[in-house]
Structure 1
C-alpha cells in the first residue's frame, strides 16, 4: 500500500508547490465572459482535459516516468522531454508556472527522507536543469514505484481539482457546484488517462489556441486573483 500512500501525497492539494495560485487562463475566461456559470466552467475545464492534458501532458508524463525508471542511462531522454514540455508553454505565465512549481517540488523532494534516501535519485533530480513540474512529479512517482496506470489519473485529478477550485473562486461558484464539476469531469479521467498512457509520441498534441489567448490576455489583466 505504500506506493498508494505516496501517490496520495503527490496528488494532494497540500503539496507545497503553489498550484492554488494559478488558474491557467481561466480567470481571464471569466473576466471576458466566456465562462459565466457552472456549465461554462465545465466546458472550459473539460475541453482542456480532453485536448491538452490527455493528449500531451499525460503521455509526456508517462514517458518521463519510463525514462526516470530506466536509471542514469536514460537521463538524456528525461532532459529532452523536459525541454519539450517547457517549449510547449505558449506564454510567459504558463512557462513561469511550470518552472516555479517544478523548482518547489524539486526542493521539497530533495529534503524528504522518503526521496532523498533512495540511492541516486536526489542527485539525478538535482542535475536536471530548470525542471518543469511534470518532470519533477514523474521522478517522484517513478522513484516511489507508483505504476503508470495509477499515476496518470491521479495527476489529472490534481490538475482538475485545482481548476475547479479556481472556478469556485473566480466565477464564483458554490462548493456544491464545485463538487458536481469534480464528479462529472472526474468520471472522464479513467478513459483520458488510458488514452494518455497509450498515445504514441507522433500523435501528441496540445493545440488549444483558446488557452494560449486567455493566458496571454491574463498577463495584462487589470485585477487578478491568480498568477496565471
Structure 2
C-alpha cells in the first residue's frame, strides 16, 4: 500500500527551524514582555481584585478553587470586560478616532463595580501611562492620552500605548490577559497560600481560558459588555471593610 504524508501546517516563525523575528516583531515582543511583566511598576502586586476577601470567606482555599474562581473572572467578569475595552481602545487609537476613544475611556472608567475595583484599575492605568511616557514615549502618545480627556483605566492605557507603538491587537490582548491572570494567581498564592508549583499548575490550566477569552474579546461589540461574577463583585465591595488586609482591593 502506498503511504502518503501531509505537510505540517506552518505555525509561524517559532515552528520553522532557524527562523528569526523581524526587527519590528522583535521590538513589539520586547515591549509587550516589559510592559506586561510583573516587574513593570504599575503596582499590580498591591491589589487582589477581591480575592483576599474570598479567601477569608472560604470561597477560595486551594489551587482548584482558585482556578475555578479565576476561570469565571476571565470568562464572565473583569477579564472579558477589560479585554473588550482594550480592543476598542486599540482600534480607536489606531484609526485616530478621538470621539470613540473618549467614549470608550469614559465607559471603562465607569464600569468598575466597586470603589476598590475603580481604585485598582485607575491607579494602574495612571502608572502605566506615566511610565510609558517617561521611558517609552513615541510620536502620537501624548495626543492619544489627551484625547481621552479624563481618567484612563488599565485596559485603556494598555490599548493606547500598544497602538501608539504600532503593536498589533492580538498579541497585546494575549499578553494583557496573561498579566491579569498571573497577578491574580500571585495574590492567591500569597493568601491561601500556594507553593510555586501549584501556582504554575493553575496558570497552565487557565491557558485555554485565556486564549478563548482573548478570541471572544477581539470579536465582541460594546453591547456584549456585561459581568455575571456577582460573588466576585461582592467580594471587592466587602474587602473595603475587611478587618485585616494585605491588599488594597
TM-score, normalized by length of structure 2? 0.86
Match of 2:154 in 1: 133
5+ residue gaps, structure 1 = none
Among 112, 118, 138, the residue aligned to 1:95: 118
User: Over the residues paired in the alignment, what is the CA RMSD in angstroms?
Assistant: 1.3
CA deviation map 1:14-46 (0-9, x unaligned) = 111000100000000000011111111111111
* Regions of 4+ moved over 4 Å: none
Change (3 A) 1:162 1:61: same
Deviation, structure 1 residue 124: 2.8
Q: Distance in 2 between matches of 1:206 and 1:15?
A: 28
Among 11, 25, 44, the residue aligned to 2:50: 25
Q: Distance in 2 between matches of 1:214 and 1:169?
A: 17
SS of residue matched to 2:175: helix
Match of 2:80 in 1: 55
1:54-93 to 2 correspondence within 5 Å? 54-71=79-96, 74-93=97-116
Rg larger in 1 or in 2?
Answer: 2
CA deviation map 1:146-187 (0-9, x unaligned) = 111111111100000000010100011111110100111023
Among 221, 224, 247, the residue aligned to 1:203: 224
SS of residue matched to 1:188: helix
Q: Distance in 2 between matches of 1:150 and 1:124?
A: 21
Deviation, structure 1 residue 11: 1.4
Determine if contact 2:139/2:164 at 8 Å carries over to the other structure.
Answer: no
TM-score, normalized by length of structure 1? 0.93
Match of 2:144 in 1: 124
Change (3 A) 1:45 1:180: same
Q: Distance in 1 between matches of 2:81 and 2:90?
A: 14
Determine if contact 2:189/2:195 at 8 Å carries over to the other structure.
Answer: yes
Alignment coverage as a number of residue pairs: 223
Match of 2:193 in 1: 172
Match of 2:128 in 1: 105
Determine if contact 1:91/1:215 at 8 Å carries over to the other structure.
Answer: yes
Bigger RCO (CA 8 Å, 6+ sep): 1
5+ residue gaps, structure 2 = 1-25
Deviation, structure 1 residue 126: 4.4
Q: Distance in 2 between matches of 1:60 and 1:107?
A: 20
SS of residue matched to 1:196: helix
Deviation, structure 1 residue 79: 1.5
SS of residue matched to 2:40: coil
Deviation, structure 1 residue 130: 1.3
Deviation, structure 1 residue 65: 0.2
